[in-house]
A = this chain, B = another copy of it.
Amino acid sequence: MSIENISSNKSFGGWNKQYTHRSAVLNCEMRFAIYLPPQASAGETVPALYWLSGLTCTDENFMQKSGAQRVAAELGIAIIAPDTSPRGDDVADDEAYDLGKGAGFYVNATQAPWNRHYQMYDYIVKELPELIEASFPVSGLRSISGHSMGGHGALTIALKNPLRYQSVSAFSPISNPLNCPWGQKAFTQYLGDAKAQWQQYDASELIRDARQFVPARIEQGNADQFLEEQLKPDTLTSAANVSGYPLELYSHDGYDHSYYFIASFIEDHLRFHAAHLKV
C-alpha cells in the first residue's frame, strides 16, 4: 500500500493534505484528503472522523467549505474525506449528476457495467481505514459523518458495522433511498431490481432492525429543497422508534441543503463525535 502526497496546506496549526493511491477494491487510482491536527505533528496518535460527501463532490468540497479544521485542531481529531466514486477514464459513467462518477452511493455494485469499479462500501469500510491507519498517526478509534448521499453512506455504514464506529452523524441524509428518486435510480443501476439487495443500504430499513446502537445525531434544515422528495427524515425517525434507537435529530428553521448549512453546525457535530472518541 503506497500513497503519494499531492498537496499540503497548513491550516489552524495542522495540515490539510491530499494523497493519491491505487485502490485494489475499486480497481483504479483514487484521491483523498486528510486533515491532521497539530497534535498529530506533535507525536500524538489521534482518532479519526471519516466524512462522506454528497452528489457531485470530490475529496475537496468539505475541506474547503466546512470550516471543520478549526474545531478539529482544538479537539485533536483527524478528518478523512474520500472521493464520492471511483475515478478514471476507464470507469463507467453517466451524463446525469446523480449516477456514475461523483455518485457512488457507498454501495458495492453487483450489476454490469458498474460492478467492475463501484465498490465504494468496501472501500470506505475496509480499504481506506487500513491505509489511513498504516500511513498516518491515526488510531482505530473512528467516527463517521456525511452530507446528503454521504449522510446516507455514513448512517448505513455505521448501522451495518456498529463495532467499527464510536459515533455517527449526518447532515440532510438520504434517509430512505428505497422510496426516493435518487435512491431508486442509483440502486436499480448498481444493484438490479431485487429489493432485498436494496434494503441492506437503506438507513430506515437498517435502523428499524438495529440491536446495537451507535450514538447518532442528524442535522436537517427545514428549508432544504430536497426535504420531502429525496431525504425523508420522518421515515427514519419513525423506523428508529420501532427499534427504540436513540436518534437525535435537530431541525433548523430556514436552512437549506448547501454547505452554508453544514458550516453553521459542523462544530456541534465535531464536539458530539469528540465526546464518543474520548478526546
For residue A264, which residues in chain B have a CB less than 8 angstroms away from its CB?
Answer: 10-13, 69-70
- Assess whether A9 is interfacial by the CB under 8 Å rule: yes
Q: Is A263 an interface residue (CB 8 A)?
A: yes
A43 in contact (CB, < 8 A) = no
Establish whether residues B64 and A10, one from each chain, have CB atoms under 8 Å apart when the complex forms: no
Taking a contact as CB atoms closer than 8 A, the residue among B12, B70, B256 that contacts A10 in the complex is B256
Decide yes or no whether A97 CB sits under 8 A from chain B.
no
Given contacts A16-B260, A259-B64, A260-B16, contact A10 B254 (CB under 8 A): yes
Cα distance A260–B10 when bound, in Å? 7
- Across the interface, name the chain B residue whose C-beta is closest to A65: B64
- Closest beta carbon of chain B to A247's beta carbon, Å: 24
Cβ–Cβ contact B263 & A10, under 8 A: no
Complex interface bits, A207-220 against B, C-beta within 8 A gives 1, otherwise 0: 00000000000000
Chain B residues contacting A12 (CB-CB under 8 Å) are 263-264
Task: Verify if A261 is at the interface (C-beta below 8 Å from B).
Answer: yes
Contact B11 A263 (CB under 8 A): yes
Chain B hits for A252, CB < 8 A: 10
> 0/1 per residue, A79-120, Cβ < 8 Å to B?
000000000000000000000000000000000000000000
A256 to B17, CA, bound (A): 13
Which residue of chain B is the closest to A15 with respect to CB atoms?
Answer: B254
Q: Is the CB of A64 within 8 A of B64?
A: yes
How far, in Å, is A267 (CB) from chain B's closest CB? 8
Q: Using Cβ atoms and an 8 Å threshold, which residues of chain B touch A221?
A: 10
A260 touches B9 (CB 8 A): yes
Among the interface residues A254, A255, A259, which one has the most CB atoms of the partner chain B within 10 A? A254
Of the candidates B9, B70, B258, B263, which one forms a contact with A258 in the assembled complex, judged by CB atoms under 8 Å apart?
Answer: B9
- Extra 9 A-B pairs, beta carbons < 8 Å, given A11-B260, A69-B264: A9-B260, A10-B254, A10-B255, A10-B261, A10-B264, A16-B260, A64-B65, A67-B67, A69-B260
Interface residues of A (CB under 8 A from B): 9-13, 16, 64-65, 67, 69-70, 221, 223, 252, 254-256, 258-261, 263-264
